[in-house]
Structure 1
Amino acid sequence: MDKVTTRFTDASLLPSPDSRRAPLIKRRDLKMARSPHAYVRGNTAQYYDWLHSLPGQRLPRGPAIWICGDCHVGNLGPVADAQRKVQLRLRDFDQATIGNPSHDLIRLGLSLASAARGSSLPGIVTAHMLQHMLLGYQRAFFPGHEEIFVKPQVVKTALRQAQQRSWKMLARERAIDGRQTIQLGKNFWPISAAERSAIDEMFADPAILARVTGGEVGDTSRRPVVVDAAYWVKGCSSLGLLRYAVLVDYNGARRLIDIKEAVAATSPRYRRASMPRDNAKRVTEGACHLTPALGERMVARRFMERGVFIRELLPQDLKLEIEQLGIEDAVLTASYLAYVVGSAHARQMDAGTRHAWLTELMGKPAKSAGAPHWLWHSVVQLVASHEAGYLEHCRKYAMSE
């Protein structure tokens, strides 16, 4: 059943634009307390601290390419290109940076291991998942595997649902009512007059809409009309940043636009790498390298003296949700998701760089069959530290409710 936001008849019951911070932080803390997997997804700081530590600095050193930086399971999902062809791809680039591709592998391994523990799978399954994760990643470096790769059931289901979705379904999920307004409630809060004015001013430029819609809007001389806008309470680690859902009318068609604040990346980067200093431009450039189908319909702008990036929300764009994993599907899922990440990495390398990176990746094999020593021990250390951190987090925040 589609989730629909409950409408509040009295907007005064919702936080005002000046009092958002405290309830947003509280919601983030409670959301992270739901499960170990939710804690891993929302707690990037602990992972980045580990990467900067001595164990984190002993990883294979890969080529300087764009990496996701926060490559957990929830940051992958179905993505539609301009022709509405849907494929599973990376879909979140807030932490995108030019750095070591092994960081994406370990973050994905930690996320998958947490999902396995949440599904009460035995430890041997996690060992097999990490082994097949690396095999799937390697397969991405040899073209021609996309069509013959066996997709796990969770991916098949997500792609099928995405392909079948319509604007009406998106509107119902995002609480857009029959009057074509965004319903205020749990997930959508009021905005200030200054915020609304800034949004109107931004969309006075038709070129923005032309970019984020892939040029489908046609005549860009006509000015888009902002029908409604609301502050969007969404995500976990990004709660507290500027985030808006904007309903725009253009030539009689409704489009739902996402505006999100870009802040400095905390994911480690290669020091001599040249990247845009503007964080919104960094995010959009990273997206263009990692998932061109999404990056090519994103645009960076200044908004209320902050950098934001803008994209249209298509019905086909979904987050991959993994509630429960079976033993067989867990291994297939690990392999396929790593293949998706590997494809995003490999497209940025020439043949020589690909060969050198794969050689480095497997340069220190484990003493027994399975994942390389560096991958296995990194994930084990991180699972242990995050498990302890999760329990402390629950004691500190959840018990006070």
Structure 2
Amino acid sequence: MSKRELVAVADRAEVLGQTRTLKMARSQHAYVRGSTVKFYEWLAESDGKVPTGPSIWICGDCHLGNLGPLADAKGKVEIQIRDLDQTVIGNPAHDIIRLALSLAAAARGFDLPGAATARMIEAIIAGYVEGLAGRDGANDDDQAAPIRKLLQVAGRRRWKHLAEERIEDIRPVIPLGSKYWPITKEERRLLSDLLASDTVARQWRSNAGGNDDTALELLDAAYWMKGCSSLGRLRYTVIARLGPDGSPALLDIKEATKAAAPRDEHAEMPRDNAMRVVTGARALSPHLGERMGAGRLGSTAVVIRELMPQDLKTELDELTADEAREVARSLASVVGRAHGRQLDNHQRTEWAAELTRQRSKSLDAPTWLWSSVVDLVGIHKSAYLDHCRRALLAA
């Protein structure tokens, strides 16, 4: 994209809307990832069909792309939940169903038979219960081969890989183009004020070991066209440095909006949406939560996240039926671990028992989960085809 073709501020909303429509039309799995609200609509109409678990922090949008390798501040890598925009205190069964729907849609993309999807649903429950009880290892040899490979790739990545991938250069400059758009002087001023705020500067000084007088300096910034369901929110990528001798850090600054995910009406959560996201991240994904912060960009609540080279999205190529089943088990165990660390032994045992009731003779998975996935796959398939028709007409 040439300088003449760069997206102006006035055109952002239109371009983001068109991009989101096209992304969701790529495949049924892509549509499932981007149509979060349709999933919540189904949940609202399915009262009584889904078991009610303990009231804890949940992801709220637990699809395949929202899990992946994450590094802690010291570079240790584990598969954890990597996007917490929709996190709320709610019913953990919602995360299980959302993950099962996402994996079922992916299985259709791999052209796997329906029997393979049924075995994946069995593996999801088995893996989730293992993770809930803390019996699985985050990086052990029992992980599915594609997941082990993903962890190995993530573990070898360094700053230059992140820079080349995100900003196409290892120098601390963001080249404007199709992903990174110019910002206004006012946006740059607001971003500088955000980094200079006591709350943000204090957290990054703590993470980086700087002294109390070290300033967090903005080196470069651009509007970041990224995501799918979140396209349309304010989002920036920023290169910052803690003090004149500090190493550059790549930050993701994203608008935090009200969660659409169903929440426990009696639970107490932060009213500030950025603080809600950060609090949920620290409960569900410690590697991510420890390098996130909440702030204000003018009057807008934003989440600030330091990007690490090891952070990757789980994107899978063609899988065999056996690989798909093992991947489902591995990823479900990640979600079980995230939920289980918020519960005591008695609560974990009770929730596991509730989950495994209502099994059929032919399928080693609860009927409520299988019927939920069947309903949702049908709903999303017809909605996806209609979305593609509308996208074609708009084009």
Report the TM-score when normalising by structure 2. Answer: 0.95
Give 3-state SS (helix, strand or coil) of 2:196's partner.
coil
Match of 2:112 in 1: 121
* Alpha-carbon spacing, 1:68–1:138, altered in 2? closer, same or farther (3 Å): same
Aligned equivalents of 2:117, 2:333: Cα separation in 1:
17
Aligned equivalents of 1:220, 1:158: Cα separation in 2:
38
Aligned equivalents of 2:344, 2:98: Cα separation in 1:
25
Match of 1:337 in 2: 331
Match of 2:381 in 1: 387
| RMSD between superposed Cα atoms in Å | 1.6
Deviations 1:308-354 (A, max 9, x none): 01011110111111232221110000001000000000000011111
Give the counterpart letter for 2:5 in structure 1.
L
Q: 2:353 aligns with which of 340, 355, 359?
A: 359
The question of whether the paired residues in 1 share the 8 Å contact of 2:132 and 2:348 is answered with yes
Q: CA deviation at 1:267?
A: 0.6
Give 3-state SS (helix, strand or coil) of 1:77's partner.
strand
The answer to which of 174-183 and 233-242 deviates more is: 174-183
- Structure 2 counterparts to residues 147-158 of structure 1, below 5 A: 150-158=142-150
Q: CA deviation at 1:358?
A: 1.2
* Alpha-carbon spacing, 1:247–1:152, altered in 2? closer, same or farther (3 Å): same
Match of 1:219 in 2: 211
- Structure 2 counterparts to residues 193-232 of structure 1, below 5 A: 193-205=185-197, 208-209=200-201, 211-212=203-204, 215-232=207-224
Deviations 1:83-132 (A, max 9, x none): 11000000110000011100000000000000000000000000000001
Give the counterpart letter for 1:81 in structure 2.
D
* Alpha-carbon spacing, 1:323–1:398, altered in 2? closer, same or farther (3 Å): farther
Give 3-state SS (helix, strand or coil) of 2:208's partner.
coil
Give 3-state SS (helix, strand or coil) of 1:135's partner.
helix
Aligned equivalents of 1:278, 1:311: Cα separation in 2:
17
Q: Percent identity?
A: 47
Aligned equivalents of 2:386, 2:53: Cα separation in 1:
34
Match of 1:138 in 2: 129
Match of 1:3 in 2: none
2:183 paired with 1:183: no
Give the counterpart letter for 1:171 in structure 2.
A
The answer to which of 13-22 and 159-168 deviates more is: 13-22
Give the counterpart letter for 1:113 in structure 2.
A
* Alpha-carbon spacing, 1:220–1:157, altered in 2? closer, same or farther (3 Å): farther
* Alpha-carbon spacing, 1:57–1:255, altered in 2? closer, same or farther (3 Å): same
Aligned equivalents of 1:60, 1:307: Cα separation in 2:
34
* Alpha-carbon spacing, 1:68–1:213, altered in 2? closer, same or farther (3 Å): farther
The question of whether the paired residues in 1 share the 8 Å contact of 2:134 and 2:337 is answered with no
2:93 paired with 1:102: yes
2:299 paired with 1:308: no
Match of 2:35 in 1: 43
Give the counterpart letter for 1:363 in structure 2.
R
Q: CA deviation at 1:211?
A: 2.1
Q: CA deviation at 1:70?
A: 0.2
Q: 2:371 aligns with which of 361, 377, 385?
A: 377
Q: CA deviation at 1:201?
A: 1.1
Give 3-state SS (helix, strand or coil) of 1:263's partner.
coil
Aligned equivalents of 2:205, 2:347: Cα separation in 1:
34
* Alpha-carbon spacing, 1:396–1:169, altered in 2? closer, same or farther (3 Å): same
The question of whether the paired residues in 1 share the 8 Å contact of 2:278 and 2:293 is answered with yes
Q: CA deviation at 1:304?
A: 2.1
Moved over 6 A (4+): none
* Alpha-carbon spacing, 1:242–1:68, altered in 2? closer, same or farther (3 Å): same
Give 3-state SS (helix, strand or coil) of 2:301's partner.
strand
Aligned equivalents of 1:129, 1:206: Cα separation in 2:
47
Give 3-state SS (helix, strand or coil) of 2:148's partner.
helix
Q: CA deviation at 1:209?
A: 4.5
Q: CA deviation at 1:217?
A: 4.1
2:269 paired with 1:275: yes
2:79 paired with 1:88: yes
